[in-house]
Amino acid sequence: MIKSFFQSLKDNKVEYLLISGQATVLYGAATFSEDIDIWINPTDDNRIALLKALQYLHATYYKLTPPLTEKFLNRGHGFHFYISGSDDIYLDVMGKPPRVPDYEEANDHKNIIRTDWGRLPTIGIRHLVELKKTQRLADYAIISRLSLIELAGIDNCSTNDFEWALNNIFTLSDLNELITRFPGVVDSVSNPEFLCDYIKYNNLNDDNDVHLENKIEDWLTSRMLAYQRNDREYWRNIISELKTLRTNDELMINGTEVKYTI
């Protein structure tokens, strides 16, 4: 069924990028994801193409889903669908995800990844990292892994590459791996001072400075908490709008089939 889903997107010429859980699996930063998440180009023609693809698959609306209109796509809402088959699919669709540029720019930086379901247009790692800065604690270990994977794919890492990776590492173990695998990082960090000290110390010593370790862990945690708060604030207005739509009975009815009508 998953292969049929992606084939239907292709047959209907839906412009999309694979994002979130399945994208992290394809990049090797996670081992499993239940849902399929896609980001579609939020144009009216592309919206219609997606509706046609979903109608062909007998998809139904699932949980709190507003009408799939250009208006709601561009306001940042998520749209949820269920597709029954040999492999049931829970599909989440967005037209304007948080913390990333517009679709056209992200599409310019996509990767085409060969899978058992075909060649899939997949969001680039750096944009995926921004998408994963959610309220979910588990996402930050995945972000750290994605950062290491991104650097490993660059032949000659620049100072900017190392600075980007350092800004997207959230676990002490992955920071230590970064220092070990990419010694050039020692010359690329200038602040905070305790981070410079930690990197230099690790490069010169086999043991650990417990005081520095604790300070680094506190710093990593504080950055993560800030992103979690920002994500919570981002969704506040969208959730409020969903509540209003539910009160006014304007949400799609859970379990009803997707129908494309002119």
Q: Helices in 84-209 by DSSP H: which ranges?
A: 103-108, 125-131, 138-152, 159-167, 172-181, 193-204
> What is the CATH classification number for the domain harbouring 37?
3.30.460.40
Shared-domain flag, residues 159 and 202: yes
What distance in Å separates the CA atoms of residue 87 and residue 37, rounded to the nearest whole number? 15
In which element (H, E) is residue 53 found?
helix 44-56
8-22, 98-112, 210-224: segment of lowest average pLDDT: 210-224
Shared-domain flag, residues 143 and 90: no
Asked if the model's pLDDT at residue 208 lies above 80, the reply is no
CB-based contact 37:22 (threshold 8 Å): yes
Domain boundary among 131, 152, 183: 131
Please name which of 185, 200, 146 lies closest in space to residue 24, comparing C-alpha atoms: 146
Please name which of 13, 31, 22 lies closest in space to residue 123, comparing C-alpha atoms: 22
Residue 254 lies in a domain: no
86-139 residue pLDDT tens: 778 999 999 999 999 999 999 999 999 999 999 999 999 999 999 999 999 999
Q: Roughly what angle, to the nearest 10 degrees, separates helices 159-167 and 172-181? A: 160
Residue 257 per-residue DSSP state: B
pLDDT at 207: 57
Residue 248 lies in a domain: no
Question: Which residue would you say has higher pLDDT here, 214 or 208?
Answer: 214
Question: Which residue would you say has higher pLDDT here, 212 or 80?
Answer: 80
Shared-domain flag, residues 117 and 20: yes
Average pLDDT of 8-21? 95
Residue 253 per-residue DSSP state: P
pLDDT at 214: 87
Shared-domain flag, residues 196 and 181: yes
Shared-domain flag, residues 12 and 69: yes
In the chain, how many domains are there? 2
User: How far is residue 145 from each of residues 126, 133, 148, 168, 169, measured CA to CA in Å?
Assistant: 12, 13, 5, 9, 8
Shared-domain flag, residues 29 and 125: yes
pLDDT at 179: 86
Residue 106 lies in a domain: yes
| Percent of the chain topping pLDDT 70 | 94
Shared-domain flag, residues 12 and 105: yes
Domain boundary among 131, 150, 173: 131
In which element (H, E) is residue 238 found?
helix 210-247
What distance in Å separates the CA atoms of residue 14 and residue 79, rounded to the nearest whole number? 16
Shared-domain flag, residues 7 and 127: yes
Shared-domain flag, residues 114 and 162: no
Q: pTM of the prediction?
A: 0.92
Strand partners, 113: 120
Asked if the model's pLDDT at residue 159 lies above 60, the reply is yes
Residue 206 lies in a domain: yes
Residue 147 lies in a domain: yes
Shared-domain flag, residues 146 and 222: yes
Instruction: Quote the domain boundaries for residue 183.
Output: 138-234
Asked if the model's pLDDT at residue 188 lies above 80, the reply is no
Shared-domain flag, residues 17 and 113: yes
Average pLDDT of 156-177? 92
Domain boundary among 107, 131, 155: 131
